[in-house]
Amino acid sequence: MTSLQAPPTGKCPVAHNFDAMADAYYIDPAQYLEAFRETTPTFFYPHMNAWIITRHEDAVRVLSDWKSFSSTANSASMDVPEAHQDTISSELMSRVLLGSDPDGHTVARGVAQLGFLEEDMQALQPEIEARAHRIIDSFENNGQGNLLEDYCIELTTQTLLAHMGLGYEYADFVKQLRDDFFHVLSSAHEPVSEPEHSIVWARYVESNLQLRELIETRRESDERDLISMMASQKDEHGEYVLGADQIAIHLTEFAAAGTDTTAQAMANAVLFLQAHPEAREDAILEPELWTRVFEETIRRRNSSTFTSRLSNVDVEIGGAEIKAGDRILIALTSANTDPDYVERPLEFDIHRPDPRDHLGFSTGRHKCLGNPLARVQGPTGLEVLYERLPSVTVDDPEAVDFVRFALMPARRSLNVHWDLADVERSQQQTVRTLNLTVAERREEAGGVISLTLAHPDGGDLPKWKPGAHIDLHLTGADGEELVRQYSLSGDPEDRSMYRVGILRELESRGGSVAAHRLRAGDAVTVSWPRNNFRFVESGKYLFLAGGIGITPILAMVREAERAGRDWQLVYGGRTRSSMAFTGELAAYGEKVQLVPQDELGHLDLPGILGDAAEDTLIYCCGPEGLLQAVENGSAHWPKNSLRLERFAPKVITRDYADEAFEVEFTESGVTVAVGAGESILDAAAEAGLPVISSCRTGTCGTCETPVLGGKVDHRDSILTPDEQEASETMMICVSRASRGCGKLVLQR
């Protein structure tokens, strides 16, 4: 049996009422932890011989400082039974990714990360979707079932099979491996009983031996499945980077993290959506929202409540004196619902401005390696489920059927039922494109037309909300198919038609010219509406539009007026004759201010935005110059006041232009010139150097590279300020040589 250190005496404060075995904890960990965070933000829990940290600020502090707070707490106590020490040593078990620190962690993660690149995970999405449909095919006529086992775990297991390049015959093997690893992991933190412990270990060791044999067969494979990618990686001397024994240990980690955690998140999402039907309907109506459903689920209820660290220093956190050698449990779920960090923390709101602003995948160097896969398979699984079985309903949302592991309160079941009419409807569902007819074509202004589109049978079109757009499938001058996006500018309440406004741009790629060729009666294929610029509830609104950017704003002002809200629109254009829909806007009187540039100059943004207004949202659409000016001009407004139709990462601005420089890659013996307008990553890839990347925005750490010389201008979101100052590594997808530094020396 795993040995647990006897609880030390004199550890204070202790939250005497905290019980990680209580039903209330398993039903809603975030709500259960709320009271303890308020009264005792850091407390000692004798049952697990660890300090529990509940506040967001403290969680980020611990997770971001691996030198002071080691991840070895996740593996150091995993005692391997003596009978199996020759096969799996304690030292080998200590190399699990979630339980190791640099440099060993960096090497292993670098190999494993090749199997989780974002573009590869996105490429896996059609296969995940196809498997989701096949799984539902197998049980849809039952009308009821255990959704967790029948669908969620089955889908994540099959996804992992596809990702590992394994056949369906390995499904039971992977499921058992998952359960056994969770048992082994939990045994490092919680008491376990015999003979169960010995039985699990014997099975776990046998599974590892099978994996080692499989790994050796893929050493020379050039396939992109996870096992082949990890097995085939060699160092500069032509030696394999990782042994089969270590790869097997990592694969057991992935079997657990890649199946159960995402399956639990999907099950939790079903429960949240049942409690919040408006969110469910929004996501069914606008499928791009499934990503937000998944993100909000893992913010509100993380699959793993805690992650563990070992303090290397004496430190005060949250009023508690923690000694070097003490174990710390970071309550991720509590940190994600800390009211000092997030507004309305316990509300389930899929329309939060930044859906990824949470610690659901942890942060820092141990941010979940598989998050790109989870962020594909979770939303895909939910979308297919509600597409096929929209009436799915949980029988007893308050059921307490969990595996009693405090670290990960995992459900055993989620019993549901659904209307069998869903099956017939899904068999007859419309492909998500529509063949419409141009019912009307109007000249709205100089160079601007509106197209009113309707179904030939006069029936209702799919619902939409202000801010939505559709794709138009057009024919270019040379007969090629063009797909272009245009905002819907009509009335969402009128289901009989869609209206788009299109500016003819001769210098564009040809889409607007093709659209201007359409005439009344012409057929056109469009997509179902999608919304990346969602109009949300607010007490007041300030709308700012420039040129053709008025189109999504039209539906918003209509909705604000209908709701009786206080609003104002300032609309600018080159000339009055170039400004579309002004006649329509005249009905709103003084709420609309027109600013033709040739008559009145540019929009007076300092005057408009000078005084920050409470309970007011700013919606802005127009050319990039306007968006940037509004973004800068509203920086002093309350957080999240500004809504732009932009989905780019935060821009790091400098008051000087980027300069060209050189990078010497010592291991490759190559020096590369990096232009002012390109990244080190792109320049290195162009030179044929072995560089990898995923996010390309400085947020994932995939391209982290050691720095041997030169001064770096760090522009990433991974390294701490201290690490950036030390400049031992850099993210070459975004960071550059500092101004005046003509050369960097990197180890690659």
Euclidean distance between CA atoms 551 and 456, whole angstroms: 24
| Percent of the chain whose predicted confidence (pLDDT) is above 90 | 64
CB-based contacts of 480: which residues, under 8 Å, 6+ apart? none
Q: Is the model's pLDDT at 594 over the cut of 90? A: yes
Domains of the chain, each with CATH number or no CATH:
23-417 (1.10.630.10), 433-531 (2.40.30.10), 540-644 (3.40.50.80), 661-746 (3.10.20.30)
- For residue 633, give both structure tokens: 């001009």
DSSP sequence for 61-94: HHHH-TTTEEGGGGTTT-PPPGGGTTTS-HHHHT
Q: Any residues with CB less than 8 A from the CB of 289 and at least 6 apart, and which? A: 282, 283, 350, 531
- What pLDDT, on a 0 to 100 scale, did the predictor assign at position 534? 86
Percent of the chain with pLDDT over 70: 93
The pLDDT, as a whole number, for residue 77 is: 55
Six-digit token string for 490: 């009509």
Q: Mean pLDDT throughout 122-137?
A: 87
Write the DSSP string, 393-455.
Answer: EES-TT---EE--SSS-EES--EEE--THHHHHHHTPPPSEEEEEEEEEEEEETTEEEEEEE-
* Chain position carrying tokens 């969680």: 59
What pLDDT, on a 0 to 100 scale, did the predictor assign at position 6? 43
How do beta strands 327-331 and 306-311 pair?
antiparallel
Q: SS in 3 state form for 173-205? A: HHHHHHHHHHHHHHCCCCCCCCCHHHHHHHHHH
Name 24's Cβ contacts closer than 8 Å, sequence gap at least 6. Answer: 31, 32
In this prediction, residue 101 carries a pLDDT of 59
Q: Is the dihedral of CA 718, 720, 722, 725 positive or negative?
A: positive
Query: Taking Cα atoms as reference points, which of 296, 261, 460 lies closest to residue 373?
Result: 261
* pTM for this model (two decimals): 0.67
Q: What is the pLDDT of residues 151-205, one digit of tens each?
A: 999 999 999 998 999 987 898 898 899 888 888 877 765 667 888 888 999 999 9
Query: Residue 663: left (phi > 0), alpha (psi -120 to 50), or beta?
Result: beta
> Do the Cβ atoms of 166 and 226 come closer than 8 Å?
no
Name the residue among 83, 78, 116, 114 with its Cα closest to residue 95.
78
pLDDT, residue 651, reads 65
DSSP assignment letter at 237: T
Type of residue found at 286: E
pLDDT of residue 695: 64
The tokens for 239 are 């030696």
Confidence of residue 61 (pLDDT cuts 50, 70, 90): very high
Q: In which order are the strands placed within the sheet that holds 642-644?
A: 592-596, 566-573, 540-546, 616-621, 642-644
Rounded Cα distance, 220 and 502, in Å: 54
9 has pLDDT over 80: no
Nearest-angstrom CA–CA distance, 170 and 177 = 10
| pLDDT score of 433 more than 80 | no
pLDDT value of position 28:
95
Other residues' Cβ atoms within 10 Å of the Cβ of residue 17: 10
pLDDT at residue 493, as a whole number: 95
Residue 430 confidence (pLDDT) above 50: no
Between the alpha carbon of residue 162 and those of residues 119, 210, 493, 616, the distances in Å are 16, 18, 44, 48
Tokens encoding 264: 């639990």
Task: Give 700-745 as a 3 state SS string.
Answer: CCCCEEEEEECCEECCCCCCCHHHHHHCCEEECCCCEECCCCCEEE
State mean pLDDT over 589-599.
96
CB contact at 8 A, 405 and 190: yes
DSSP state of 170: G
pLDDT at 5: 41
CA gap 58, 61 in Å, rounded: 5
Q: Based on C-alpha coordinates, what's the Rg of the chain?
A: 28
* Cα atoms in the 13 Å half-sphere on the side-chain side of 14: 14
**Residue among 531, 433, 520, 518 at smallest CA distance from 474:** 518
pLDDT range class, residue 2, cuts 50, 70, 90: very low
What is the pLDDT confidence band of residue 543, given thresholds at 50, 70 and 90? Answer: very high
Mean pLDDT of 140-161: 95
Omega cis (within 30) before 349: no
Residue 281: CB partners within 8 Å, gap ≥ 6? none
- pLDDT tens, residue by residue, 651-702: 677 889 999 999 999 988 999 999 999 999 999 999 988 787 766 888 657 7
Tell me which residue has tokens 């096969």: 87
What pLDDT does residue 8 have? 52
Q: Which helix (H) or strand (E) holds 625?
A: helix 624-633
Residue 409: name the closest of 23, 43, 45, 97 by CA. 23
Angle, CA 202 vertex, CA 198 and CA 206 arms, to 5°: 170
- Position 445 scores a pLDDT of 96
Listing DSSP states for 519-567 in one string gives -TT-EEEEEPPEESS-----SEEEEEEEGGGHHHHHHHHHHHHHTT-EE
Highest mean pLDDT among 66-75, 377-386, 639-648: 377-386
The conformation of residue 141, written as its DSSP 8-state character, comes to: G
